[in-house]
Chains A and B, each alone.
Chain A
Amino acid sequence: MAELLRVEGLRASYGEAVVIEGLDLALADGRSLAVLGRNGAGKTTLINALIGAVKSSGRVTLGGVDLSRLPSHRRARAGLGWCPQERNIFRSLTVEENLTAVALPGPWNLARVYAMFPRLEERRANMGGQLSGGEQQMLAIGRALMLNPKLLLLDEPTEGLAPAIVDELLAALKRLAAEGLSMIVVEQKAAKILRFADEAIILNRGAIVVRAASAALIADEGALHAHLTAAG
């Protein structure tokens, strides 16, 4: 399978504080990767560094295109679809406008996003600020899909959501993964995300301490738990 993402010697910092140092990572096209780790391990910083939302150095290529020196909007246009932790939907735009404001040509369009999240179609004329947390998360994912990304970056998509909504979202992500959309998903709840991710990494202090197939981590739950609690 062709390589989609390659990260070499990634270093990311907030001012003087270095969060990620010398991180290398590769992801094949059509694969999904779970990023696990305790709070402060550098999971969100990794996503932010990939999209260019935080100061970073090192080399990031997507489908052979070097993104390292590109500003955020050109990285997005090169194929990175970002779904941030805070959802950050545009509150003064309607659901439909949130989707159309950033749309790029490709197979993902309004009809397909609405088919994935029927609830959004029902709320299409509502303002972004009028949505529930779960609907905002669906909108954030739908908006990222409207960019027709090669790689979807999801930062804690289930955080703060009711269990029923979490299941609905995970089912949607599972469908996306099954359709072959490449994804990197940052998540605290390892058990839920490993159900559909092909493989996972565990971060500790900005470095990868474990990389394994999801099935292997699920099979050895004790070891997974040990890594996640011992990390740090």
Chain B
Amino acid sequence: MSAFASDEAARVSRHLLRRRRWRPLEIAAWLAPPALILIFPSRALLINEILILGLFALSLDLALGFGGLVSLGHAAFLGIGAYTAGILASRGVNDPLLGLLIASALAGLAGLVTAPLVLRGADLTRLMVTLGVSLLLGELANRNAWITGGADGLDFTVGRLFGVFALDFTGRRAAALYSFVVLFVLFALARRVMRSSFGQSVQAVRQSRLRAGALGVPANRRLIAIYGLAAAYAGAAGALIAETTQIVSLDIFDFHRSADVLLMLIIGGPGYLYGGLIGAAIFVGLRDLISGATPEYWEFWIGLLLVALVSVGRERVEAALARFARRPYLTRPGEAAP
């Protein structure tokens, strides 16, 4: 390699390293969940739910925030993951990590297979197609009660993690920590992928498919790949739901699951990886808080929050927060830290 070429390689690697570096506030934010789980074990169930829904929202962020692929049926992959882990456990394959891996792989495969359908047409078509796939899978699960348990649901027992940590109701803290580790590993992977040249080209495709194509980026292949990755992440979230509750029912495919995760992403903001996690924390936290006071009307207040958010504009809220906290950990991909 010539001196010129090696200098070039060093320059690129320095740039990529700089982009991948974890910032102090980011590290602090990641230390909070395990600390909260250990300090408040009675809230481990709630934190576990936030972590799993955060992973689910992260998966939608990959498809929508980065790939620009809107979906109203993301629960399809959540359901595939949950039922895969549940069915495996009910048939004796009850190692949680193995179940998680297989569930995630199957959901990813389903994402790759259905991606060409999603790529056809514009946003409205995508909404219909994704919703249709989710309804289809829900009905398939309903009809095949011999393996899914049908309307009665499927209950099973998951083995101990590494043969030591129980993930059932006797081990809520271990379950929440397990979900946290899975979320962190998958987040770190997503962070790395989206900051690689692959991730940059996916963002280029989102901004203009035609333009990116004319610059040599195979747009459809990039979108299929990111949709498959998003589906795999949703499958992992589904597996975590199954393994930490040890029951799967048909409502995993319900429309409200897809709608809720979209709301979480809208609340947190798409396109910078943290939006889904923040949205899930706000959504579940508010639901817990408000439903304690008015159990029947908590959705009213969530609805009001959304209307307020849209009316005020998230950018204004973000700008105010940025001024207050100078939050470099919340910068969008590629955005220079303030």
Contacts and interface: CB of A to CB of B under 8 A. Distances in A.
Contacts of A61: none
Interface in A88-141: 88, 90-94, 96-97, 100-104, 109-111, 124-127
A29 B12 CA distance: 31
Contacts of B219: 73
Interface stretch (A9-17, A76-84, A175-183): A76-84
Nearest to A148: B216
A90 B218 contact: no
A10 B118 CA distance: 33
Interface in A42-78: 51-53, 71-73, 75-77
Interface string B107-119: 0000000000000
A94 B334 contact: yes
Given A96-B15, A102-B201, A102-B215, A90 B210 contact: no
Nearest to A103: B197
A18 B13 CA distance: 48
A76 B334 contact: no
B214 interface: yes
User: From DSSP, what is the main secondary structure of chain B's interface residues?
Assistant: helix
Contact of A110 (B11, B208, B336): B11
A93 B334 contact: yes
B335 interface: yes
Contacts of A90: 200, 203-204, 207
Nearest to B5: A109
B211 interface: yes
Given A92-B203, A93-B204, A100 B214 contact: no
Contacts of A52: 213-214
Contacts of A104: 216
Nearest to B11: A110
A59 B12 CA distance: 39
A132 B181 CA distance: 44
A105 to B, nearest CB: 10
Contact count band on B: 20 to 34
A92 B215 contact: no
Contacts of B212: 73, 102
Given A92-B332, A97-B334, A72 B210 contact: yes
Given A76-B216, A111-B4, A100 B336 contact: no
B8 A110 contact: yes
Interface residues of A, number: 34
B7 interface: yes
A51 B197 CA distance: 23
A147 interface: yes
A154 B4 CA distance: 28
A78 B141 CA distance: 47
A93 B200 CA distance: 7
A72 B12 CA distance: 27
A142 B150 CA distance: 58
Nearest to A94: B334
A217 interface: no
B207 A102 contact: no
A143 interface: yes
B73 interface: no
Contacts of B197: 100-101, 103
A144 interface: yes
Contacts of B15: 96, 100, 124
Contacts of A94: 334-336
B333 interface: yes
A53 B200 contact: no
A102 B336 contact: no
A147 B216 CA distance: 8
A100 B12 contact: yes
Contacts of A147: 215-216
Most chain A beta-carbon neighbours within 10 Å: one of B215, B218, B335: B215
Contact of A51 (B7, B12, B214, B333): B214
10 contacts: A73-B219, A76-B216, A93-B200, A94-B334, A97-B334, A102-B215, A109-B8, A110-B12, A111-B8, A144-B215
| CB-based closest 5 A-B pairs | A76-B216, A101-B200, A72-B213, A102-B215, A72-B214
Interface of B: 4-5, 7-8, 11-12, 15, 197, 200-201, 203-204, 207-208, 210-219, 271, 332-336
Given A73-B215, A76-B213, A100-B12, 19 more contacts: A75-B214, A91-B207, A92-B271, A92-B334, A93-B333, A97-B200, A100-B200, A101-B197, A101-B200, A101-B217, A102-B216, A104-B216, A110-B11, A111-B11, A124-B15, A125-B336, A127-B335, A127-B336, A144-B215
